[in-house]
Amino acid sequence: MAQNRIIPYGYKIENGKLSIEPEEKHIVVRIYERYANGESYLQIAERLTALGAQYTPEKTHWNKNMVARVLQNKNYLGNDKYPTIIHSELLQSAEKQAKPYTHRMDKHMKALKPYLVCNECGARLQRRLKATGVERWYCPNDTDHISLKVSDVSLVKDIMELQRKLLLSEKCRKTSHAEGKTLNLELIKLKNQIDLAMNEPTPNLEEIKESIMKLAREKYSILENIGEDSYLSHTIERLSDTELDSKLLPTITMKIVVSRTKAIELVLTNGQKIKN
Ligand SMILES: [Zn+2]
């Protein structure tokens, strides 16, 4: 790549050793100072271009990546190989500026990150910041598994959609629960039938026994379902349908499956699946 320098900006080779290139050193210091003053990568790049500063002899047009590369090069502090260009005070004040930027992870994403898994291979998704400061979500097994399109913003949007669908499915379940009450009426009917059969002058004991067993089984299964779902259902009901709830949602989430381009499935702690 012709645009990439072999020697880092600010240095030159002299007598086979790296030494400081005075003009470039001046620009490196300026970049750090401007960044520490709160200018963005782009603002700094535009200013350097306007000044006619050279990145390489052929290149006087600066872009954000070039500025980022300078700001992320720790060699400027000096070491065995590289003479010092930036003093630690300046680096620190630049880093103070950078903090909200590089550490910026949506509070939602922070809470949900441990649950995100790759649809291809099941690996936990990783997140890093590119030189441009933009986040990159990826699968540690294969970078092709997750597309560059996947971002904090897109994930929040997809997961919000899953949350909304979960809430909807819970409302539907509640409705069928009301039907469950009708099922209870069925049980009462069954019980009445048993009572009647017992009062027959010659009761059919086999049939009565069978009915009693059936009644017991039905009662038991209803109880079991109610017990298992109460925490989940209670939590789901408290979810908002307009805002992602990164506090409650993780408490009922086993995993969130991410395909190449989006979050496609929410798997709850009871194994229930909600698809996008
Ligand atoms: Zn994968």
Q: Is residue 76 part of a domain?
A: yes
169 C-alpha vs ligand 1 centroid, how far in Å?
A: 29
265 C-alpha vs ligand 1 centroid, how far in Å?
A: 15
pLDDT of residue 196: 87
Domain limits for position 173: 152-179+226-275
Q: Is residue 175 part of a domain?
A: yes
Average pLDDT across the chain, whole number? 86
84 C-alpha vs ligand 1 centroid, how far in Å?
A: 42
Query: Based on the number of CB atoms within 10 Å of its own CB, is 196 exposed (0-12), middle (13-18) or buried (19 or more)?
Result: exposed
132 C-alpha vs ligand 1 centroid, how far in Å?
A: 24
Q: Is residue 119 part of a domain?
A: no
Looking at the structure, tell me whether residues 163 and 48 fall in a common domain: no
189 C-alpha vs ligand 1 centroid, how far in Å?
A: 54
∠ Cα 263 265 269 (to 5°)? 125
261 C-alpha vs ligand 1 centroid, how far in Å?
A: 12
Distance CA 118, CA 258 (A): 5
* pTM reported for the whole predicted model: 0.51
Distance CA 133, CA 154 (A): 17
- Nearest alpha-carbon partner for 86 in 151, 4, 8: 8
CATH number of the structural domain spanning residue 88: 3.90.1750.20
pLDDT of residue 182: 62
Q: Is residue 218 part of a domain?
A: no
264 C-alpha vs ligand 1 centroid, how far in Å?
A: 14
245 C-alpha vs ligand 1 centroid, how far in Å?
A: 26
152 C-alpha vs ligand 1 centroid, how far in Å?
A: 18
Looking at the structure, tell me whether residues 97 and 160 fall in a common domain: no
Matching residue, tokens 């720790």:
74
Tens digits of residue pLDDT in 244-265: 999 999 999 999 999 999 999 9
115 C-alpha vs ligand 1 centroid, how far in Å?
A: 14
188 C-alpha vs ligand 1 centroid, how far in Å?
A: 53
Across residues 180-209, what is the average pLDDT? 82
Tens digits of residue pLDDT in 70-90: 998 989 999 999 999 999 889
Tens digits of residue pLDDT in 38-63: 888 889 999 999 999 988 888 889 99
Q: What percent of the chain has pLDDT over 70?
A: 88
Distance CA 229, CA 148 (A): 38
**In this model, does residue 165 exceed pLDDT 90?**
yes
Domains: count for the chain: 2
130 C-alpha vs ligand 1 centroid, how far in Å?
A: 20
Looking at the structure, tell me whether residues 159 and 235 fall in a common domain: yes
Looking at the structure, tell me whether residues 96 and 31 fall in a common domain: yes
113 C-alpha vs ligand 1 centroid, how far in Å?
A: 15
- Picking from 43, 76, 102, the residue at the C-terminal end of a domain is 102
